[in-house]
Chains A and B, each alone.
Chain A
Amino acid sequence: MATSLEKIIGPRTPEENLAEDRFRFRLPIIFFLIAALLLIASIFLPYWKMTLQAPQYPKGLSITAYINKLTGDVGEIDGLNHYIGMRPLAEAAQLERSLSIAAVSVLSLLLVAAIFIHSKYAVLLALPAILYPFIFLGDMYFWLRNFGLNLDPTAPLSNAIKPFVPPILGVGKLAQFVTIAQVQSGYYLALMASISILIGLYFQRRAYKPLIDSPAGSEDQPIAITDLD
C-alpha cells in the first residue's frame, strides 16, 4: 500500500524495464533539463527591449531589460522622461531585479526536482517555471503602468502630457516619439523552457501513468508498457 509520500513522489522507475525502454523514462528528464538550462542561459540574455524613434535621434534610443539590469540609453531616456515627470527607470522593479537571478535558479532547481516526482504533483513544481515568462511580462506591465500613471504633477510638461501606459509589446506613439517594444532572446528562451516543460510533463505522465494505474508487482495486471506505444 502506497504511503502518502509515495503518492506524492509517484512510482520509481522500474529497473526491469529500464534496459529495454530507457528512452521512455529518459525523455521527460531530457526535457526538464533542457528547460532548466534554457532558464539559466536566459539570465545572460536580454528579455525585452524598447526602441524610441524621433527625428532628433537618427540612431534611435533604446532600453534593454535583462532580468537583473537595464542597459542602453537609460540616462538619455531618463533625461527626456524628467520633462514629463516620470521617475528614473532605475527605481523600477528594484526588488525583482535584486532577486531575479536567485529566483530563476530556484525555478531551475524545482525543474530538476520535478524530474524525481513521477506523480501529478510534478506539475506543481514545474508550474512556476511554466508561468515565469508570463509573470515577467505581467510584472513589466505593472511597472510600465506604475511609471506611466504616476507622473510628477510639477514636471515641466505635466499639464500637457497626461499619465499614460506605454504599450508593452508593439508600436506606440508619444509626442514625437514612436516606441517599439519587443521581447528579446532571453525571453524566447524562457518561453521555450515553458514549452519544453509542458512536453516533459506529457512524456513523464505517459511514462509513469501506467505504473500509477497498475502498480508494479500487481499480479493481476502485469505491465505491458510497450503496448502503449
Chain B
Amino acid sequence: MNLRTMKKYLLPFVLMAVVGFLLVTACSGIGGDTETPESAAAPGDINAIAAERGLTPADIEAAVKTYTPTGQHDEYIMFASGGHSGQMLVIGMPSMRLLKLIGVFTPEPWQGWGYGAESSMEVLEQGKINGEEVLWGDTHHPALSETGGEYDGEWVFINDKANARIAVIDLRDFETKQIVKNPIAINDHGGTMVTPDTEWIIEGGQYAAPLGWEYASLADYEEEYRGMVTFWKFDRESGRIQTDQSFAIELPPYWQDLCDAGKLVSEGWVFCNSFNTEMATGGVEDGEPPFEAGASQRDMDYMHIFNLDKAIEVFKAGQTEMVADFPVISLQTAIDEELLYFAPEPKSPHGVDVSPGGDYMVVSGKLDPHVTIYSFEKIQSAIAAGGFETDDYGIPILDFDDVVESQVEVGLGPLHTQFGPDGYAYTSLFLEPAVARWTMGGPYADLNDDEPWSLVTKTFIHYNVGHLAAAEGDTVSPDGKYLVSLNKWAIDRFQNVGPLVPQNLQLLDISQPGTTMPLIDDMPLGIGEPHYAQIIKADKLDPWEVYPEIGWNPATQSLDPNATLAGEERIERDGNNVEIWMTAVRSHFNPEHVEINQGDHVIWHLTNVERAYDATHGFSLPGYNINISIEPGETATFEFDATQDGVFTYYCSEFCSALHLEMVGYMLVQP
C-alpha cells in the first residue's frame, strides 16, 4: 500500500485515540500548572530527584523494594476484608495496589452485583435475615481455603460480624457464590477460619444473646443468654457450604472472639478465646459499670479448647438439639462428651493463633503486655491428668501453669500474632502502636540467632494497629518476607480529605533477621475498615481470563440453558410475558430494539459472546434499576415488570471499544 492510503487507514485509529489523548493531556495539563519545567531534575539523576523530593536513603530503598513498574506483577496477593463496606479487597503486594473489590454482602455497581443479575440477586437473597433484606455487612476475617494446612488458592470465605453470616467466594472468577445466615446467632466474630483441609469453616460468636434469636430479659443473662461456635461443612465439589451437614456448640454467655484451627499435631482441635467472662450486662445509663469496665474486671478470661473430631462424632450420632431448625450440641452434652475445656488466658484477649507446627497457641491479652504461649502437648497432658476445677456452667478449667509454655512481654495492647518461617512471631501492639517481633522457642529456637521466647525488636506504625497479616503467616509454612499492619487510624499520614479519614495499611519488610524490620509502604484505603487479611503467593492463584465457554452462568459455574450465540438472538412473546435472548459484542447489542407493552413481565437473557481477555460489557437499563456487568462468555438473566411506559435507552456501561458510545439500544414501552 502506498503512503497516502496508509495514512487514510490510520485516520480512524487516530480518531479512536483522541479520547485517550484528551484525557492524558487534560491530566498532564492539570499537573503542568503546578510545576515548572526548570524544577525538574535531570533525567536519570536519582540523587537529584531524591534531594528535590526530600527522600532519605531509607526512602529510596523502600521505593526500590516496592515500586512495581507497569506490566510487572506482584509476588503476593492479599485478600483483605472490606470492613463495614461488606466487601472483600484484593490487593497486590509489595506494590500495595488495589486490584479488585469483590461485592459480597453489599451491592457493588461495577460488578453489577445486586442490580438485577440473577446470579447476584440469588446470593444476596440468601443473606436475608428473617425475610428482611440486609444489604451491607461488616466483613472481618477472610479465610483462604487450605489443603494440608497450605493455602490452595481455590476459595476464600468471609464473615459478616454484624449479622452472623458467612460468604463463599470462588477464586476461579473472584465472585461470591453463597451467603449463609447463621440461624442461631445475630452476630459473630470468630470467623472465618478453616480446618487444614477446608472440611470445616469455623464461625465463633461474639455478643451473647439467646440462641435462635429469641427474646430474654438482660436480668436473665446468665440463664438465657448463650455464646456459640458453629462448624460449617464445606463441600469443594459443589463449592458450597452444606448447611444440612453443619452444626453448632452451645457455649456460656462469654463473648467468644477469635478462633483458629489446630494443624499438624493439633489437627482436629479448635481454639477460641473469649472476653467478658464477667458476664457484665452494661447499663451505664443506670449507673452500672459500662461494658468496657464491666467486661474487664477479671485478670483472666478463658481460652476455649474444642475437640472437633469428637464433636463431629457427637453431631453425627445425633446428640444435638434443634435450635431454629439447626442442630446444636448443648453445653451439657459438650461437657459430658468431653468436647470442651477452658484454659485461663490473660485479660480480654483478642488473638489466639496456632503456630506453624500446630504445637503452640499464642494468645494476646490486649490489656496485658504479654503474649501467652500455650503448649498443645501440655494441654493434652493436663486433659489426660483430669481433676479439674470447673466454671459456673461446669466446664473443666485446665490449670494455667500446667498448660503455659512461656510468656513474652511484647508491649502495650497486644492483639494478634502471625508467624514467619525463621522462628519469629509478630504481634500487633495497638496502644504503642507498633509491630513486635519476638522469638519462638522449642523446635523454632534454632531457626534464628536470637534468644528463644524473647522480644527482638519493634517497628512503630501509623497508627493503632489491629490485625496483622504476614505472607502465608497463619499456614503450616509461613513465607516471611512481607507483613502488613492493618492500622485503624491514619491521622496525619495523608492529605486531609475531611473528618472521615482513610484507613492505612502499612507494609513492613520482614525478610531480614534481628532488629531490621523497616516500614516500606503505606496504602490508604477509603473503603470501609479492612479488619483482617490473608496473603497468598500469587502463583497459587489460577483464575480464568474469560469464562470457559460462551454462555457461562457464574452462579452454577456451568453452561446456562439460556446461553445465546451470535445468530440465536430473538424476542418471544407469550401473553404478557416477553422473553429476550440478547447478545453483546463490540460494539453492539442484538437486538437493538425491544418493543414491549406496559404491564408486560420481561425476562431478559444477555450473553457476552466475546472471547477476548478484558472484553467486558456493561448493560445499564435506566428507570428499572438494572445494571449488569457481563464478562467475556458470561450469560446474565434479569427480570422485571414493565410498570413504567416510555422510551428507555439501554447502553454498554463499560468502555469496550472505539464505538462504545454507539453500543446502545432502545426499549420502547407502549402505554
| A residues adjacent to B (C-beta < 8 A) | 57, 73, 75-76, 79, 83, 156-157, 159-162, 164-165, 172-176
Q: Which residues of A contact B11 (CB under 8 A)?
A: 160
Given known pairs A160-B11, A160-B15, A161-B12, the reply for A79 and B586 (CB within 8 Å) is: yes
Complex contacts, B585 vs chain A, CB 8 Å: 79
Contact call B8/A76, Cβ cutoff below 8 A: no
Q: How many angstroms from the CA of A156 to the CA of B661 in the assembled complex?
A: 13
Specify which of B10, B586, B611, B659 is in contact with A175 (CB 8 Å cutoff): B10
B1 touches A164 (CB 8 A): yes
* B6 x A79 contact (CB < 8 A): no
Q: What residues of A have a CB within 8 angstroms of the CB of B8 in the complex?
A: 160-162
Contact partner, B9, options A73, A75, A175, Cβ 8 Å: A175
Distance A164 CA – B9 CA, assembled complex (angstroms): 9
List, sorted by A's number, 21 A–B pairs whose CB atoms are closer than 8 Å.
A73-B611, A76-B611, A76-B612, A79-B610, A83-B659, A156-B659, A159-B12, A160-B9, A160-B12, A160-B15, A161-B9, A161-B12, A162-B9, A164-B5, A164-B9, A172-B1, A173-B6, A175-B9, A175-B10, A175-B13, A176-B13
User: Which residues of chain B have C-beta atoms less than 8 A from A79's C-beta?
Assistant: 585-586, 610, 612
User: A162-B5, A164-B5, A173-B6 given as contacts; is B12 within 8 A of A75 (CB)?
Assistant: no
Bound Cα distance A57, B610 (Å): 14
How far apart are the CA atoms of A162 and B6 in the complex, in Å?
A: 9
What's the least CB distance linking B29 to chain A, in Å?
A: 23
Closest chain A residue to B4, Cβ basis: A162
Bound Cα distance from A26 to B8, whole angstroms? 60
- The CA of A38 and the CA of B608, in the complex, are separated in Å by 43
In the complex, chain B residues whose CB is within 8 Å of the CB of A174: 9
How many Å lie between the Cα of A199 and that of B146 in the bound state?
A: 65
CB closest chain-A residue, reference B611: A75
- A-side contacts of B10, CB under 8 Å: 175
Question: Residue on B with the closest CB to A163?
Answer: B5
Closest Cβ of chain A: how far from B270's Cβ, in Å? Answer: 46
| Residues on the A chain within 8 Å of B13, using CB | 175-176
Tell me the bound Cα distance from A79 to B586 in angstroms: 7
Smallest CB-CB separation from B12: which chain A residue? A160
How many angstroms from the CA of A176 to the CA of B393 in the assembled complex? Answer: 75
Nearest Cβ in chain A — how far from B609, in angstroms? Answer: 8
Since A165-B1, A172-B1, A175-B12 are in contact, a sample of 6 more A-B pairs with Cβ atoms closer than 8 Å, ordered by chain A residue number, is: A73-B611, A76-B610, A76-B612, A79-B610, A157-B12, A173-B6
Find chain A residues with CB under 8 A from B587 CB. Answer: 156
Report, as a range, how many residues of chain B touch the other chain.
Answer: 10 to 19
Interface majority SS on A: helix, strand, loop or mixed? loop
Q: How far is the CA of A157 from the CA of B659 in the complex (A)?
A: 10
Residues of B within 8 A of A76 (CB): 610-612
Q: How far is the CB of B550 from chain A (nearest CB, A)?
A: 9
CA of A105 to CA of B29, assembled, Å: 66
Chain B residues near A172 (CB, 8 Å)?
A: 1
How close is B588's CB to chain A, nearest CB, in angstroms? 9
Instruction: Count chain A CB atoms within 10 A of each CB in B5, B13, B15, B662 and give the residue with the most.
Output: B13
CA distance A176 to B10 in the complex (A): 8
Q: Name the residue on B nearest A57 (C-beta).
A: B612
CB neighbours of A83 from chain B (8 A): 658-659
Chain B residues within an 8 Å CB radius of A176: 13
Q: Mark B459-488, 1 if CB is under 8 A from A, else 0.
A: 000000000000000000000000000000
Closest residue on chain B to residue A164 by CB atoms: B1
Complex: chain A residue closest to B610, CB-CB: A79
Q: Measured between C-beta atoms, what is the minimum distance from B2 to chain A in Å?
A: 10
Residue-wise, chain B 647-671 has the 8 Å CB interface mask toward A (1 for contact) of: 0000000000011001000000000
Per the bound structure, the CA–CA distance linking A76 and B586 in Å amounts to: 10
For A156, list chain B residues within 8 Å (CB): 587, 659, 662
Residues from chain B with a CB closer than 8 A to the CB of A161 are 8-9, 12
Chain A residues closer than 8 Å to B5, beta-carbon distance: 162, 164
Within the assembled complex, what's the spacing in Å between the Cα atoms of A87 and B11? 21
Per-residue 0/1 for B7-24: is the Cβ within 8 Å of any A Cβ (1 yes, 0 no)?
011111101000000000
Interface residues of B in 585-635 (CB under 8 A from A): 585-587, 610-612
Q: Closest B-chain residue to A61, C-beta based?
A: B612
Q: How far is the CB of A72 from chain B (nearest CB, A)?
A: 11
Q: For residue A155, give the distance in angstroms from its CB to the closest CB of chain B.
A: 10
Q: Which residues of A contact B1 (CB under 8 A)?
A: 164-165, 172
Q: Measured between alpha carbons, how far is A172 from B9 in the docked complex, in Å?
A: 12
The smallest C-beta distance from B24 to any residue of chain A, in angstroms, reads 14
Q: Report the Cα distance A73→B546, complex, angstroms.
A: 14
Q: Which residues of A contact B6 (CB under 8 A)?
A: 173
Interface-central residue, B1, B611, B662, by most chain A CB under 10 Å: B1
- Which of chain A's residues has its CB closest to B5's CB? A162
Q: Shortest beta-carbon distance, A120 to chain B, in Å? A: 44
The chain A residue with its CB closest to the CB of B15 is A160
Q: Which of B139-180 contact A (CB under 8 A)?
A: none
> In the assembled complex, which residues on chain B have CB atoms less than 8 Å from the CB atom of A164?
1, 5, 9
Residue of A nearest to B6 (CB): A173
User: In angstroms, how far is the closest chain B Cβ from the Cβ of A58?
Assistant: 8
Q: Which residues of A contact B662 (CB under 8 A)?
A: 156
Residues of A within 8 A of B610 (CB): 76, 79
Docked pose: A218 CA to B10 CA in angstroms: 75
Whole-angstrom CA separation of A211 from B9 in the bound complex: 63
Task: Give A76 to B657 CA distance when docked, in angstroms.
Answer: 13
Shortest CB-to-CB span from A152 to chain B, Å, is 14
Q: How far apart are the CA atoms of A160 and B18 in the complex, in Å?
A: 15
CB distance from A91 to the nearest CB of B (A): 14
* Cα separation A134 to B15 with both chains bound (whole Å): 40
10 nearest A-B pairs in the assembled complex, by CB-CB distance:
A160-B12, A175-B13, A157-B12, A160-B11, A76-B612, A162-B8, A161-B9, A176-B13, A75-B611, A164-B1
Closest A residue, CB atoms, query B613: A59
Q: Return A171 CB to nearest CB of chain B, in Å.
A: 12
Which of chain B's residues has its CB closest to A74's CB? B611
Q: Which residues of A contact B12 (CB under 8 A)?
A: 157, 159-161, 175
Q: What are the residues of chain A within 8 A of B9 when measuring CB–CB?
A: 160-162, 164, 174-175
Give the CA-CA distance A79 to B657 in the complex, in Å. 11
Cβ contacts under 8 Å, B611 to chain A: 73, 75-76
Q: Identify which of residues 282-330 in chain B touch chain A, using a CB-to-CB cut-off of 8 Å.
A: none
What chain B residues lie within 8 Å of A157 (beta carbons)? 12
> CA–CA, A159 to B10, complex, Å?
11
Query: A144 → chain B, closest Cβ, in Å?
Result: 13
Bound CA span A46–B9, Å: 30
CA distance A162 to B11 in the complex (A): 10
Chain B, residue nearest A161 (CB): B9
Kindly provide the distance from the CB of A2 to the nearest chain B CB, expressed in whole angstroms: 57
B139 to chain A, nearest CB (A): 34
Within the complex, the shortest CB–CB distance from B670 to chain A, in Å, comes to 30
Among A76, A79, A173, residue most surrounded by chain B Cβ atoms (within 10 Å): A79
Nearest neighbor of A156 in chain B, beta-carbon distance: B659
Bound-state CA distance A113–B286 (Å) is 111
A105 to B204, CA, bound (A): 72
CB distance from A97 to the nearest CB of B (A): 21
Residue in chain A with minimal CB distance to B586? A79
Distance of A172 from chain B, by nearest CB (Å): 8
Q: How far is the CA of A199 from the CA of B587 in the complex (A)?
A: 55
Give the residues in chain A near B659, CB-CB below 8 Å.
83, 156
Q: Which residue of B lies closest to A175 (CB)?
A: B13
B137 nearest CB across to chain A (Å): 37
Determine the distance from Cα of A37 to Cα of B139 in the docked complex, in whole angstroms.
66
Q: How far is the CB of A164 from chain B (nearest CB, A)?
A: 5
Distance in angstroms from A55 CB to nearest chain B CB is: 10
Complex CA–CA separation, A160 to B9 (angstroms): 6
